[in-house]
Chains A and B, each alone.
Chain A
Amino acid sequence: MTTVEADHAVRTAGLDKRYRRTWALRDCTLTLPAGRVAALVGPNGAGKTTLLRLLVGLLAPTRGSVEVFGQSPATNTATALSRIGYVAQDHPLYRRFNVADLLRFGHACNLRFDRGLAERRLAALGIPLHRKAGTLSSGQQAQVALALALAKRPDLLVLDEPLASLDPLARREFLQVLMGAVAADGVTVVFSSHVIGELERVCDYLVVLNHGRIALSGDIESLLADHRLLVGPRTANNLDHTPSVIEATHADRHTTLLVRDGGIPPAPGWQPQAVGLEELVLGYLRLPAPDGTGLAAEDSEDAA
């Protein structure tokens, strides 16, 4: 294992995933450095859950490769599994188990499990050990699921829409615990979200997924520095095809361009403006799906 590989928490190359006749992911190539907190954003149905399940070994790729700290998670070995923590969508728990049972379950099924740490965390949150998981509130269930995953002391923590069903206070508490774990252990985090608003305070890496393809990925700071909005007088439409123009929005008298040009001085007549994270993501999400006929041709190839 080279040093370069050891530095990367996640590496995918040409990752494809197909279910029967539909492609969930196409040609996903991604490199996530260790220690980052990465946001995976995209609309529902974009393939976020599929990608996350591929990261934790619950799915195997149709084509391409996935590596987590240099190992393929699909090998499903105890050591590979023990390096990864996972909280699935809606934080499933054994509802008839009480919290103590769940901790015992974690202890019984893992090579490394810091039960004391989990108990202290849950006590600090006021979650009693004898309550059945099914009777806890959504926020408390999310905290228990997170505690179970963190007690494994994983190197990579993967969360599928962890904040979706939580009220604002529960969301804040969840992120407090999560960020505390990042500060204490340096764990790499990937979580998916279809809400962009709260991400910037927590994440430093971004992956935008749409129509099963990665539209954009990178360090948030670099991405925001590379992109700008340029506002200028209404132009003819053929400006849209300049390579660095991601999106052009035309009003009656002015045109707004979202460009990726590394911050070079703009042409005369164009006012540069910094672009916010949400605007950036939306600009990439509004890009149309790649030419449909390409996919259909491949489908019929597979059928032949």
Chain B
Amino acid sequence: MFVFRLDSNSGVPPYLQLVQQVRQALLLGFLQPGDRLPLIREVVESLAINPNTVAKAYRQLEHEALVAGRPGQGTFVTETPTATVSPAIYTSLRRGLKTWLHRAYTAGLDEESINGLFSTVHHEAKVEGVA
């Protein structure tokens, strides 16, 4: 049975954390097609979070075609996984990021400035339509 976590202090909205955990698990193979996600009630009782949050996360995942709800039975990972990132691209992205980080630290930025810079540029990119 898949287990969710929640970090109250991460700054990421709770529902998004759940969505990201499912996406991550699918990428890394911890969730397979056909697996049943925990019932909303089960997630709520274990994490003590608002049921609407879980419902919203599951709806988002359904919208992304990662999962599908079956009435009366629960929510299941879809048989045909959609665009997953190939391990090769994943690895190359990680390597590129490490290089960039190395450059940033060498230039004298600390963790906070790096995160701030990333947020700002990411936001700009979204506005400009790249992301």
Contact = CB atoms under 8 A, between A and B. Distances in A.
Contacts of A183: 40-41, 44-45, 51
Q: For this complex, into which size category does the number of interface residues on chain B fall?
A: 10 to 19
B120 interface: yes
B49 A202 contact: yes
Contacts of B52: 37, 204
Interface of A: 37, 172, 175-180, 182-184, 197-198, 200-204, 271-272, 276
A172 B8 CA distance: 12
A204 B49 CA distance: 10
Contacts of B50: 37, 179, 182, 201-204
Given A184-B41, A201-B53, A176 B14 contact: no
Contacts of B44: 176, 179-180, 182-183
Interface string B40-80: 11001111111111000000000000000000000000000
A180 B41 contact: yes
Q: Is the interface of B mostly helix, strand, loop or mixed?
A: helix
Contact of B8 (A177, A178, A198, A203): A198
B14 A180 contact: no
B41 A176 contact: no
Contacts of A197: 8
Given A176-B45, A180-B44, A180-B45, A200 B14 contact: yes
B49 to A, nearest CB: 4
Nearest to A272: B123
Q: Is the interface of A mostly helix, strand, loop or mixed?
A: helix
B14 A201 contact: yes
A177 B13 CA distance: 22
A131 B120 CA distance: 58
A276 B9 CA distance: 10
Contact of A201 (B8, B40, B120): B8
Interface string B1-43: 0000010100101100000000000000000000000001100
